[in-house]
Structure 1
């Protein structure tokens, strides 16, 4: 048995008790949304508040569609009542674009979700957009507005790739562990949408839980292809990540790729920061892996998918005695 197992034993005796339950902070608040407006009139501002609240509710509920819930329509009509602050912003262009940045009261939003009979969930990490234009260059934020809007409408945040801060795209599209580890370090996410535009279509790859899904689509314009891609990506993400449990689930989780006691401590902190994980205990370790007993409020495959979305974990090889297996990324 390797030295790592001895380090685990040391942690079990003392360090584990003091592990923090807080997740890493995000640079953008899930309660803030920027929406386009045509002018500064009361009517436009009221409509912007409603649009923004719809996106925030989807984010905070983990991507659930709440539009059919009792009280949703009334919440949209009175969205301005829970706005914490708002600010108009003018962009570049002729004429210049106009947007409204809206921030909602966190407690009020969470109460709304609960009143609608839904559950508040951990806000999903952003979906990193890596899209090559027809000229082969990586498109920036200013070129991906329609794609970002389509993703936002379904309750997910986005981040944009820096062409100078990307691993090899071929390895990224195949969900290579080293490439995914680099993405996690640079962009703090395990969700990536890779696209390549052609004259009348596009190829898309969605990476989630360390697995790649590929599809292609045709379109008459970039905006229509981006809208379809945004919906297609978020539909796939929601199917994997928005798993709501009806009761408590007990099971065993195997995590490999742990090279030090610090990796082990970080793993436990990551698990405890997930709102669906109720209890974690260590059953044993072997080589670079550890077997954990998990009590969760959702099926373990859904819990594992959400853990991998954060970027520090990806799907691992099956292990005897474990219901699900993950791999720790460095």
Structure 2
């Protein structure tokens, strides 16, 4: 059954949120996470390199980290801040990197930077499942709008725990999968209808 009230709320919820709340709903595209064995300098530097590789995959496209070895090696010089998180089943390093410096090095290496020098925008039909309420609607929309290269997110409908969206993004579905489809907020939904990109909200 269609839920027009849910659709209306989903389309308006972000404009009703204060800016600080919107920022808290989704990590920066330039923030990466990596498991580490301990908090030693060796483990930290390895974790920073892995976290930066995750960021590069997100902002430059799937597979791009394979061509960015020199950039990844310099992760300790590009990090702005880092911390440790002992949740989610093990110790993880969470690092935020300098956007300007990362973008500059990617462009110098001839790699795309979504929203700056990348592919034309493509429209993608996206269905996000596993939503339980208004907070999940806000979380989903905010995460999509935080992805570099996403130009427009339009709510098409809501049905039970599914939210149907039309997303204009550079690189289309491949861009969205690379940025969001491998956790920690979303994973690919194997039950999505043919021709539709499906993501499931992770809890």
Same fold, judged at TM 0.5 (above): yes
| SS of alignment partner, residue 104 of structure 2 | helix
Asked if the contact 1:257/1:289 (under 8 Å) is kept, the reply is yes
- Aligned partner of 1:24 in structure 2 is 27
- Aligned partner of 1:280 in structure 2 is 153
Q: Computing the radius of gyration over CA atoms, which structure comes out larger, 1 or 2?
A: 1
Higher relative contact order (CA 8 A, sep 6+): 2
Specify whether residues 289 and 28 from structure 1 end up closer, same or farther in structure 2 by C-alpha distance, changes over 3 A only.
Answer: closer
Normalization by structure 1: what TM-score? 0.39
CA RMSD, 1 decimal: 4.1
- Give ranges in structure 1 of 5+ residues lacking alignment: 37-47, 86-102, 122-243
Deviation string, structure 1 residues 231-264 (Cα, Å, up to 9, x no partner): xxxxxxxxxxxxx963211121011221112111
Normalization by structure 2: what TM-score? 0.59
- Aligned partner of 1:111 in structure 2 is 104
Asked if the contact 2:149/2:170 (under 8 Å) is kept, the reply is yes
In the alignment, the residues of structure 2 paired with residue 53 and residue 312 of structure 1 have an alpha-carbon distance, to the nearest angstrom, of 20
Deviation string, structure 1 residues 43-73 (Cα, Å, up to 9, x no partner): xxxxx9xx99987874553224135xxxx69
Asked if the contact 1:245/1:299 (under 8 Å) is kept, the reply is no
- Aligned partner of 2:56 in structure 1 is 61
- Aligned partner of 1:309 in structure 2 is 182
- Aligned partner of 2:90 in structure 1 is none
Shift of 1:302: 4.5
In the alignment, the residues of structure 2 paired with residue 251 and residue 83 of structure 1 have an alpha-carbon distance, to the nearest angstrom, of 33
Shift of 1:292: 0.3
- Aligned partner of 2:193 in structure 1 is 319
2:137 paired with 1:264? yes
Specify whether residues 298 and 34 from structure 1 end up closer, same or farther in structure 2 by C-alpha distance, changes over 3 A only.
Answer: farther
In the alignment, the residues of structure 2 paired with residue 53 and residue 109 of structure 1 have an alpha-carbon distance, to the nearest angstrom, of 13
Query: How many positions carry a matched residue from both structures?
Result: 162
